[in-house]
């Protein structure tokens, strides 16, 4: 100590004068070699971690010992003394060893990979300090391996990057993901090439197998997702390396100054016999980490490479076959660095360099033993507040060295507890979690560990690798986050989180006080990014279709273009759409449709393709494991196809309507192709074009507009003879007979450059029509209410819909907000506004549409498609088109509807307290959970009297009682019928649903709004069942599969469908007469409002004249649904009370 005494003052008046004492403390910095029990090891690896959770670091080692052979051991740290725990581990060498908390129980487990007679990878679970062997969780068996662990898909589970040699002596590089909820890892399979904006897909040339190198999972670009950086030697002896940037958070991968993305960016690690280290230094840019690597380049020179490293590297040695380790050795808050390995003369070297406050480095005077084939680890093994150094390698034999650090009077303390936890909702499930920067005694570049879970104190969505109670790090490694925020994407739910800080000396502070938040929203962007990029290369002039083509209860994507590119198929794997492009050998297409032609219960796919200016009609028929291409016929220009049963024989036909040419001479053609399964297969072409008007441009749709149990046609277009004209064609085909379509009167607007869509927009049980395009009076976007079912030939134009006139559009319809009514998704050209794309929601109180708050207008010239991508009962959608802001840039997006999930979150939280219910009432009203409809009750099939028995079989009617739904009005429900030759089979009539009722595409049920359907069937034994489908295309469970036998004894007198049911007058002022067909003596008359509530009910005897009456004069003026039910007959009609 130095004492400074003040004797006198000049030009000052002093009061009391105290002596000043300055104490100079010993700040010695030294590394002292310690005696230790470790055997000398080479060709191995080391990992430090607190496996027994006693607060100090233990060590796991593997490798070769000259005395003991192959070694795998864990040494317990007992107050600074290491004791071999003598566990029964597989003794391996030439590999890697890692601590990792596989099962998230807070006890770190051990993984070792290497060789000893056979190639092995072993996983040992830590059962509170005792290790238990497992079946290895599906991990790959490799040697000469390098492992890196981290969350690569942002799901909170630990994933694996691993490279090495397998038992076939192949060099491999694998990514393994922890399978959700399973004790298993699944491998990322090889796929295509680079995505459209720089992300990298998993392809052998992009992920070359290697040995003699290094591998790390770390967020190099600090964007919130983990990247992979590697270097090594491939099977040809060449150096390989690079960075694989994760695109889960950042949408565009970094681009180098040369213009190359991903692995060719500024970070170059193409070195063999190499090592890599990543850390934050004093001069590291704020938004990145510094990378330093050392090894042998392609010219056999030993080189040192750096990135985001501003200081000179001339001071550092150039080494191979060694290691680099960063750590704050001298407790000044700055990362220091140790190099170990051999130089170009083969001399083993180990040197320490200390970082200066300006970011530069200086050589330490501390002398360390030089090693080659070496490893280096900084670890505070004795928990005295400074980092010690652990080395293994070769120098006149195998060595394992432990250097104890002595930094006298300068003990590193943990950072302070973090405060100020806050949340920013970025939309679509994306959130930013941020916090205040805490203080630390020495470090300024603090790292952070975020604990995120779905339960209080939980870690379900995070890997902390820290003791949650004390904050002590369980594995000796830096923190994964270097910004005071993270961004991630979350499903609706309630989340709990806290944060700890970790300094450069690897000291972890205590976790902050826990914070929680509730997240509810409507649409989640399907994130196709990741460490293996799956973003979809978007097309110009796209054609998209969502359908379940593999019967796995979710929908897949069929994606093509009318002008360029190869058709792509993407299967949904529960998280992302995965490329399966080799499924169909199809190029440019104008249309794609789906359905089950061959009755095997698996979706077949129909294409109208374009090749060298000609059109071709291809059908890919499923065979249970693959698809077989069938070339049906020439296609048509601007054609639309359907797979649908037009003649009620139970066999779906292929229907194609389009123009015969792209010239002015082109006329509308209407082709029906009948499937013949006996001939390999063969389709018999039937041309019914002469039954429809000869138009030179047309739009159309098919549906049962009159509810008479067959499929009709609505079309609109232009003819040189009559100009613009709309047509409604009633299907009058006899069951199994020749196709007959007859034009009936209509007053629909006629358009060109438009669309026709049949949909029951108001849920009243009949098909209305939505029409867009250019009419005589200009562009239109109009809805016409169906009154044919009420005996009128007119269609009533719906006024004040809020829809803006549009042409050259694409339209899809479905109930995406779960209120039971069909909404709109459309893209087209609007006069005065230009190109638009909108989601519009239907308001049943005033029959109008309004734009959804969810904005999709940034994509124009789009194809749009609803579909339940996840198979969870609500409508998601896909959209593809051109960027509004960047001409020539094409985009594809899929949005997942999470209203159901949000509604469930709110229900669960509201059940906990009335205070919550009152505070969040408006939010709870915003989200409606959509449940599937009730399962219909099936009646007994009957033979229809009055219709002949033909060579094709007997006329059979199937009927069922109307179903009900939580949101869709019962009149708005459609039904899907399946009939087969085996229990649950669909060989006769396919339902377009999986066996559990989940729909395979977002379309109405195959018998539409009818509660009965007729087919002609030959004698035999059959099975049938029926399901209800709501406005969101969510299917109920099927009714029990019922067996029935078609024979002359089935009872042909039981049903008389040739008689018609009449309901008059309609509209009525109160008194209504109903003429009921059949022979039943009693009927139940039930009147429901449009939301399905019963407002009138009466059981009545049927008089001989078959007429009954009911009085609804006391009901308010409105639209109602009247259900007439007898033992053998049921019918639902719309009635109007005025």
CATH assignment of the domain containing 954: 2.60.40.10
Residue that finishes a domain, picked among 482, 498, 519:
519
CA angle in degrees (0–180, nearest 5) for 27-31-35: 135
Q: Are residues 131 and 211 in the same domain?
A: no
Q: Are residues 143 and 99 in the same domain?
A: yes
Q: Are residues 174 and 226 in the same domain?
A: no
Give the pLDDT confidence of 959-995 residue by residue, as tens digits. 999 999 999 998 999 999 999 999 999 999 999 999 9
Give the length of the chain.
1138
Q: Are residues 184 and 233 in the same domain?
A: no
Q: Which two tokens stand for residue 549?
A: 């083509």
pLDDT score of 921: 62
DSSP calls for 148-177: EEE-SSSSSS-EEEEEEE-TT--EEEEEEE
Confidence of residue 1042 (pLDDT cuts 50, 70, 90): very high
Helices (H) and strands (E) in the chain, counts: 3, 75
164-168, 284-288, 358-362 — most confident range: 164-168
Q: Which uninterrupted H or E stretch holds 915?
A: helix 914-919
Beta bridge partners of 628: 621
Specify the DSSP class assigned to residue 999.
B
Q: Give the 3-state secondary structure of residue 909.
A: helix
Q: Please answer whether residues 123 and 102 qualify as being in contact, where contact means their C-beta atoms are separated by less than 8 angstroms.
A: yes
Q: What are phi and psi of 700, to 5 degrees?
A: -155, 170
DSSP calls for 550-572: SSSSS-EEEEEESSSS--EEEEE
Confidence of residue 252 (pLDDT cuts 50, 70, 90): low
Q: Which two tokens stand for residue 830?
A: 């609007």
Does the pLDDT of residue 256 top 50, yes or no? no
| CATH code: domain of residue 599 | 2.40.128
Q: Where is average pLDDT lowest: 255-264, 663-672, 738-747, 896-905?
A: 255-264
Q: Are residues 993 and 974 in the same domain?
A: yes
**Into how many domains does the chain fold?**
6
Does the pLDDT of residue 534 top 80, yes or no? yes
Q: Where is average pLDDT lowest: 580-584, 951-955, 982-986?
A: 580-584
From 305, 230, 225, select the one nearest 489 (Cα to Cα): 225
Q: Give the 3-state secondary structure of residue 782.
A: strand
Q: Please answer whether residues 1036 and 1028 qualify as being in contact, where contact means their C-beta atoms are separated by less than 8 angstroms.
A: yes
Q: Please answer whether residues 1126 and 1078 qualify as being in contact, where contact means their C-beta atoms are separated by less than 8 angstroms.
A: yes
pLDDT score of 771: 98
Q: Are residues 958 and 1035 in the same domain?
A: yes
Residue 714 in any domain: the answer is no
CB atoms within 10 A of CB 723: 10
Q: How does strand 523-525 pair with strand 493-502? A: unpaired
Does the pLDDT of residue 190 top 90, yes or no? no
Residue 335 in any domain: the answer is no
Q: Please answer whether residues 56 and 50 qualify as being in contact, where contact means their C-beta atoms are separated by less than 8 angstroms.
A: yes
Alpha-carbon distance 1040 to 1027, whole Å?
10
Residue 846 in any domain: the answer is no
Determine whether 474 is exposed, middle or buried from the number of CB atoms within 10 Å of its CB (0-12, 13-18, 19+): buried
* Beta carbons within 8 Å of 161's beta carbon, 6+ residues apart: 147, 148, 149, 150, 152, 173, 174, 175, 176, 215, 217, 228, 230, 531
Residue 403 in any domain: the answer is no
Q: Which two tokens stand for residue 632?
A: 């049906």
Give the pLDDT confidence of 435-494 residue by residue, as tens digits. 999 999 988 889 999 999 999 999 999 999 999 999 999 999 999 999 999 999 999 999
Count Cβ neighbours within 10 Å for each residue of 12-22 and write b for 16 or more, e otherwise.
eeeeeeeeeee
Residue that finishes a domain, picked among 172, 189, 206:
189
Q: Are residues 141 and 106 in the same domain?
A: yes
Q: Which two tokens stand for residue 924?
A: 């709870």
Q: Where is average pLDDT lowest: 179-193, 213-227, 707-721, 1119-1133?
A: 179-193
Rg (CA), the chain: 37
CB atoms within 10 A of CB 730: 17
Q: Please answer whether residues 310 and 285 qualify as being in contact, where contact means their C-beta atoms are separated by less than 8 angstroms.
A: no
Strand order in 1107-1111's β-sheet? 1062-1064, 1071-1075, 1107-1111
Q: Are residues 174 and 228 in the same domain?
A: no
Q: Give the 3-state secondary structure of residue 930.
A: coil
Residue 577 in any domain: the answer is no
Residue that finishes a domain, picked among 1046, 1081, 1112:
1046
Considering only residues 948 and 880, tell me which one the structure prediction assigns the higher pLDDT: 880
pLDDT score of 343: 97
Please compute, for residue 433, the number of CA atoms within 13 A of its CA located in the half-sphere on the CB side. Answer: 26
Determine whether 925 is exposed, middle or buried from the number of CB atoms within 10 Å of its CB (0-12, 13-18, 19+): exposed
Alpha-carbon distance 256 to 252, whole Å?
12
Give the pLDDT confidence of 842-864 residue by residue, as tens digits. 999 999 999 999 999 999 999 99
Cite the beta strand spans of 760-901 per DSSP E.
768-775, 778-786, 795-797, 807-814, 823-830, 834-843, 848-851, 859-867, 876-883, 890-897
Alpha-carbon distance 369 to 351, whole Å?
8
Please compute, for residue 653, the number of CA atoms within 13 A of its CA located in the half-sphere on the CB side. Answer: 21
Determine whether 686 is exposed, middle or buried from the number of CB atoms within 10 Å of its CB (0-12, 13-18, 19+): middle
Does the pLDDT of residue 944 top 60, yes or no? yes
pLDDT score of 632: 96
Lookup result for tokens 């003699």: 212
Residue 812 in any domain: the answer is no
Q: Please answer whether residues 717 and 697 qualify as being in contact, where contact means their C-beta atoms are separated by less than 8 angstroms.
A: yes
Query: Mean pLDDT across the stretch 918-938?
Result: 81
Residue 47 in any domain: the answer is yes
From 492, 540, 481, 494, select the one nearest 520 (Cα to Cα): 492
pLDDT score of 349: 98
Alpha-carbon distance 598 to 824, whole Å?
32
Q: Where is average pLDDT lowest: 482-486, 888-892, 1003-1007?
A: 482-486
| Structural domain range at position 211 | 193-310
Confidence of residue 180 (pLDDT cuts 50, 70, 90): confident
pLDDT score of 20: 67
* Beta carbons within 8 Å of 502's beta carbon, 6+ residues apart: 415, 446, 447, 448, 449, 473, 478, 479, 508, 509
Alpha-carbon distance 977 to 957, whole Å?
12
Q: Where is average pLDDT lowest: 149-163, 273-287, 600-614, 1054-1068?
A: 1054-1068
| CATH code: domain of residue 1096 | 2.60.40.3080
Q: Give the 3-state secondary structure of residue 1.
A: coil
Alpha-carbon distance 652 to 596, whole Å?
7
pLDDT score of 724: 97
φ/ψ region of 808 (left if φ > 0, alpha if ψ in -120 to 50, else beta) reads left
Determine whether 153 is exposed, middle or buried from the number of CB atoms within 10 Å of its CB (0-12, 13-18, 19+): buried
Q: Mean pLDDT, the chain, as a whole number? A: 90
Alpha-carbon distance 855 to 538, whole Å?
20
From 159, 91, 87, select the one nearest 125 (Cα to Cα): 87
pLDDT score of 1133: 80
From 879, 874, 858, 759, select the one nearest 810 (Cα to Cα): 879
pLDDT score of 28: 63
From 560, 571, 463, select the one nearest 189 (Cα to Cα): 571
DSSP calls for 437-488: ----SS-SS-EEEEEEESSTT--TT----B-TTT--BSBSS--SB-SSEEEE
Q: What are phi and psi of 1064, to 5 degrees?
A: -150, 155
Q: Are residues 1027 and 1128 in the same domain?
A: no
Q: Please answer whether residues 424 and 469 qualify as being in contact, where contact means their C-beta atoms are separated by less than 8 angstroms.
A: no
Query: Mean pLDDT across the stretch 735-739?
Result: 94
Q: Where is average pLDDT lowest: 143-157, 190-204, 626-640?
A: 190-204
Alpha-carbon distance 809 to 824, whole Å?
12
For residue 779, cis peptide bond before it (omega within 30 degrees of 0): no
From 940, 898, 947, select the one nearest 1057 (Cα to Cα): 947
Specify the DSSP class assigned to residue 358.
T
Q: Are residues 177 and 206 in the same domain?
A: no
Q: What are phi and psi of 991, to 5 degrees?
A: -90, -15
pLDDT score of 1053: 35
pLDDT score of 406: 86
CA distances in angstroms from 446 to 281, 439, 985, listed in the order given: 11, 9, 63
Residue 698 in any domain: the answer is no
pLDDT score of 1017: 94
Alpha-carbon distance 268 to 1040, whole Å?
64
pLDDT score of 733: 96
Q: Are residues 141 and 205 in the same domain?
A: no
pLDDT score of 1058: 35
Q: Are residues 111 and 58 in the same domain?
A: yes
């Amino acid at each position: 100590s130095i004492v400074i005494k003040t004797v006198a003052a000049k030009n000052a008046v002093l009061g009391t004068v105290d002596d000043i004492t300055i104490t100079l403390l010993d700040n010695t910095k030294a590394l002292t070699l310690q005696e230790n029990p470790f055997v000398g090891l080479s060709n191995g690896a080391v990992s430090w971690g607190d496996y027994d959770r006693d607060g100090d670091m233990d060590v796991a080692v593997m490798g070769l010992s000259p005395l003991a052979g192959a070694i795998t051991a864990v040494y317990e740290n007992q107050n600074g003394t290491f004791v071999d725990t003598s566990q029964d581990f597989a003794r391996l060498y030439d590999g890697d060893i890692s601590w990792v908390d596989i099962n998230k129980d807070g006890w770190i487990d051990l993984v070792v990979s290497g060789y000893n007679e056979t190639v092995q990878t072993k996983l040992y679970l830590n059962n509170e300090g005792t290790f238990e062997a497992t079946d290895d969780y599906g991990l790959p068996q490799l040697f000469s391996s390098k492992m890196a662990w981290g969350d690569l898909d942002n799901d909170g589970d630990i994933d694996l990057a691993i490279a090495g040699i397998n038992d076939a002596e192949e060099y491999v590089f694998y990514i393994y993901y922890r399978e959700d909820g399973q004790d298993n890892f699944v491998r990322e399979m090889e796929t295509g090439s680079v995505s459209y904006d720089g992300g990298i897909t998993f392809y052998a040339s992009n992920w070359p197998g290697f040995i003699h190198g290094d591998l790390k999972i770390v967020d190099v670009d600090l964007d919130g997702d983990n990247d992979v950086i590697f270097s090594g030697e491939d099977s040809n002896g060449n150096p390989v390396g690079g960075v694989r940037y994760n695109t889960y958070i950042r949408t565009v991968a970094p681009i180098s100054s040369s213009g190359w993305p991903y692995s060719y960016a500024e970070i170059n690690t193409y070195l063999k016999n190499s090592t890599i280290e990543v850390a934050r230094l004093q001069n590291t840019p704020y938004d990145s980490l510094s990378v330093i690597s050392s090894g042998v380049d392609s010219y056999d020179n030993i080189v040192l490479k750096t990135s985001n490293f501003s200081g000179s590297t001339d001071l550092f040695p150039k080494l191979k076959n060694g290691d680099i380790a960063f750590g704050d050795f001298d407790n000044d808050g700055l990362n220091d660095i140790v190099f170990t390995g051999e130089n170009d003369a083969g001399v083993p070297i180990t040197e320490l360099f200390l970082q200066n406050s300006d970011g530069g480095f200086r050589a330490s005077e501390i002398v360390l033993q030089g090693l080659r084939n070496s490893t280096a680890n900084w670890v505070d093994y004795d928990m005295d507040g400074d980092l010690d150094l652990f080395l293994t390698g070769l120098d006149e034999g195998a060595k394992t060295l432990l250097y104890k650090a002595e930094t006298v009077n300068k003990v590193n303390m943990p950072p302070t507890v973090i405060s100020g936890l806050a949340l920013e909702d970025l939309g679509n499930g994306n959130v930013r979690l941020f916090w205040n920067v805490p203080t630390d005694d020495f470090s300024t570049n603090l790292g952070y560990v975020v604990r995120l879970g779905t339960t209080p104190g939980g870690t379900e969505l995070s890997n902390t690798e820290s003791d949650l109670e004390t904050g002590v790090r369980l594995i000796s490694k830096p923190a994964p986050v270097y910004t005071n925020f993270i961004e991630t994407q979350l499903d609706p739910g309630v989340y709990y989180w806290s944060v700890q800080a970790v300094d450069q000396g690897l000291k972890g502070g205590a976790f902050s006080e826990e914070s929680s938040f509730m997240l509810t929203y409507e649409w989640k962007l399907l994130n196709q990014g990741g460490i293996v990029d799956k973003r979809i290369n978007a097309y110009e002039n796209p054609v998209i279709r969502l359908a379940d083509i593999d019967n796995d209860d979710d929908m897949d994507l069929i994606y093509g273009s009318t002008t360029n590119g190869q058709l792509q198929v993407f299967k949904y794997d529960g998280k992302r759409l995965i490329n399966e492009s080799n499924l169909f050998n199809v190029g440019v297409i104008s249309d794609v449709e789906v359905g089950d032609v061959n009755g095997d219960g698996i979706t077949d796919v129909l294409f109208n393709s374009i090749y060298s200016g000609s059109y071709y009609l291809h059908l890919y028929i499923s065979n249970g494991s693959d698809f077989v291409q069938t070339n049906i016929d020439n296609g048509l220009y601007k054609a639309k196809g359907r797979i649908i049963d037009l003649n009620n024989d139970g066999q779906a036909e292929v229907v194609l309507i389009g123009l015969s040419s792209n010239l002015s001479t082109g006329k509308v053609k209407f082709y029906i192709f009948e499937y013949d399964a006996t001939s390999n297969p063969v389709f018999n072409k039937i041309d019914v074009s002469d039954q429809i008007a000869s138009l030179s441009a047309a739009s159309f749709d098919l549906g049962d507009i009159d509810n008479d149990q067959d499929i009709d046609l609505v079309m609109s277009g232009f003819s040189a003879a009559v100009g613009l004209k709309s047509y409604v064609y009633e299907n009058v085909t006899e069951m199994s007979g020749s196709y007959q379509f007859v034009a009936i009167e209509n007053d629909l607007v006629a358009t060109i450059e438009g669309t026709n869509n049949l949909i029951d927009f108001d849920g009243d049980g009949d098909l209305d029509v939505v029409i867009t395009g250019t009419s005589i009076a200009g562009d239109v976007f109009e809805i016409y209410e169906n009154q044919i079912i009420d005996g009128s030939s007119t269609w009533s134009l719906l006024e004040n819909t809020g829809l803006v006139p549009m042409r050259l559009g694409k339209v899809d319809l479905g109930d995406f907000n779960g209120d039971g009514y069909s909404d709109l998704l459309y893209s087209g050209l609007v006069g005065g506004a230009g190109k638009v794309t909108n989601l519009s929601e239907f308001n049943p109180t005033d029959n109008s549409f309004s734009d959804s708050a969810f904005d999709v207008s940034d994509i124009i010239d789009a194809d749009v498609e609803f579909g339940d991508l996840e198979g969870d009962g609500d409508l998601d959608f896909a959209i593809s088109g051109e960027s509004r802001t960047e001409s020539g840039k094409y985009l594809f997006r899929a949005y997942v509807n999470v209203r159901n999930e949000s509604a469930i979150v709110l229900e669960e939280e509201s059940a906990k307290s009335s205070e919550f219910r009152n505070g969040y009432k408006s939010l709870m009203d915003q989200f409606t959970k959509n449940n599937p409809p009730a399962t219909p009750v099936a009646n007994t099939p009957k033979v229809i009297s009055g219709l002949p028995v033909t060579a094709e079989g007997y006329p059979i009617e199937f009927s069922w009682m109307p179903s009900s739904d939580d949101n869709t009005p019962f009149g708005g429900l459609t039904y899907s019928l399946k009939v087969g030759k085996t229990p649950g089979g669909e060989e006769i009539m396919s339902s377009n649903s999986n066996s559990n009722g989940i729909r395979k595409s977002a379309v109405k049920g195959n018998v539409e709004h009818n509660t009965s359907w007729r087919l002609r069937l030959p004698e035999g034994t059959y099975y049938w069942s029926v399901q209800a489908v709501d406005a969101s295309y969510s299917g109920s469970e099927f009714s029990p599969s019922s067996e029935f036998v078609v024979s002359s004894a089935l009872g042909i007198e039981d049903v008389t469908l040739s008689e018609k049911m009449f309901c008059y007058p309609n509209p009525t002022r109160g008194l209504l007469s109903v003429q009921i067909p059949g022979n039943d003596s009693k009927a139940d008359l039930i009147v429901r409002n449009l939301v399905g509530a019963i407002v009138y009910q009466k059981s009545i005897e049927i008089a001989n004249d078959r007429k009954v009456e009911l009085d609804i004069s006391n009901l308010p003026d409105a639209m109602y649904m009247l259900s007439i039910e007898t033992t053998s007959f049921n019918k639902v009609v719309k009635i109007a009370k005025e």
